[in-house]
């Protein structure tokens, strides 16, 4: 006994598709869609104003002297001209750059090698070790800060960059290992085996095959860690004891803690401190999104 079923399929022409290339939902008229988009745009505009308003106030205040700020009128570039004489901003920017660069290099090197090992090398207890490393991301900084300071102080590293660099690297490495592990798992095992057969060895496969494919993940780790380390205050305040090695955020905190504080000077210094992190994010945001979204499918 045979039966046949007839399906009446009516193809959709281009006129029935909306701008996304999909057929609109039943009852979703063009007017409703325009209203929905307008509401989303309005909500995003309100959020943008809320987020950008403090920066606008900072810019306006920075172009005043302290006397003009107190009386509420006037404008001047004197604060920007004298900022380096009051706050060693160039030296502190250099200190922040050195600390960020060294910390990120350690985080990348350890993260790449460990991530490749967890993703492609089979060894006993690997999953347990990986779970322990990932669990370290859940430990709050405040819970380990005092023990870390005691250990670093015993080694005498609080008088230089390395104390803060070691702590920043230790805090950023678990996330780096997690991201690189999930990313390297996307690489086909056949490609790794082919590289081994060709005589590259695991080191050659890592640096010549896996590394070029992991550039989005490298950019993601670099951007996220740069923003976190650059804007951090607590670690730098504790582990950079030498005033000549303070980062820009620690220098601003020390200036704000003084008895005579110039609000325009603080606003100018805050803008200088925030500019590098904002610039890095704006330049590399597309790599950041790509690196965070790839490697989640496995």
| pLDDT band, residue 101 (cuts 50/70/90) | very high
Tokens coding 196: 């081994």
| Neighbour-count burial of 205, counting CB atoms closer than 10 A to its CB (0-12 exposed, 13-18 middle, 19+ buried) | buried
Segments making up each domain of the chain, as ranges: 7-62, 85-293
| First-to-last C-alpha distance (Å) of the chain | 45
For domain 85-293, say whether CATH 1.10.3720.10 is its number.
Answer: yes
**Cβ(221)–Cβ(284) below 8 Å:** no
| Neighbour-count burial of 91, counting CB atoms closer than 10 A to its CB (0-12 exposed, 13-18 middle, 19+ buried) | middle
- Residue 72's nearest CA partner among 249, 274, 263, 270 is 263
Provide the greatest CA pair distance for the chain: 98
Tokens 């550039």 correspond to what residue? 215
Tokens coding 226: 């740069």
Q: Which helix (H) or strand (E) holds 127?
A: helix 126-135
DSSP state of 232: -
Q: What is the pLDDT of residues 233-271, one digit of tens each?
A: 889 888 888 888 889 898 888 877 765 578 888 888 888
| pLDDT band, residue 28 (cuts 50/70/90) | low
Can you give the pTM of this predicted structure?
0.78
- Residue 175's nearest CA partner among 202, 135, 212, 210 is 135
Q: What is the pLDDT of residues 141-178, one digit of tens each?
A: 888 888 888 888 888 887 788 889 999 999 999 999 99
d(CA 238, CA 236): 5
């Amino acid at each position: 006994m045979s039966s046949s079923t007839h399906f009446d399929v009516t193809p959709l022409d281009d006129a029935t598709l909306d701008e996304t290339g999909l057929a609109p939902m039943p009852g979703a008229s063009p007017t409703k869609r325009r209203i929905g988009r307008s509401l989303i745009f309005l909500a995003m505009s309100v959020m943008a104003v809320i987020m950008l308003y403090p920066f606008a106030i900072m810019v306006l205040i920075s172009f005043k002297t302290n006397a003009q700020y107190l009386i509420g009128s006037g404008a001047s570039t004197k604060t920007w001209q004298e900022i380096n004489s009051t706050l060693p901003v160039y030296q502190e920017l250099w200190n922040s750059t050195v600390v960020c660069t060294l910390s990120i290099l350690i985080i990348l090197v350890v993260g790449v090698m460990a991530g490749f090992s967890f993703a492609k090398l089979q060894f006993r207890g690997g999953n347990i070790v990986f779970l322990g490393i990932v669990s370290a991301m859940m430990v709050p900084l405040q819970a380990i800060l005092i023990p870390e300071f005691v250990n670093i102080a015993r080694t005498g590293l609080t008088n230089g960059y390395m104390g803060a660099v070691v702590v920043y690297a230790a805090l950023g490495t678990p996330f780096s290992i997690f991201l690189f592990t999930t990313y390297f798992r996307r690489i086909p095992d056949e490609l790794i085996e082919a590289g081994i057969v060709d005589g590259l060895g695991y080191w050659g496969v890592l640096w010549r095959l896996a590394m070029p494919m992991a550039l989005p993940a490298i950019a993601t780790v670099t951007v996220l860690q740069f923003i976190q380390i650059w804007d951090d205050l607590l670690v730098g305040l504790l582990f950079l004891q030498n005033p000549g090695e303070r980062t820009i955020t620690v220098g601003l905190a020390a200036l704000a803690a003084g008895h005579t504080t110039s609000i325009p000077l603080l606003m100018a210094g805050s803008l200088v401190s925030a500019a590098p992190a904002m610039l890095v994010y704006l330049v590399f945001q597309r790599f950041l999104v790509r690196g965070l979204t790839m490697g989640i499918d496995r």
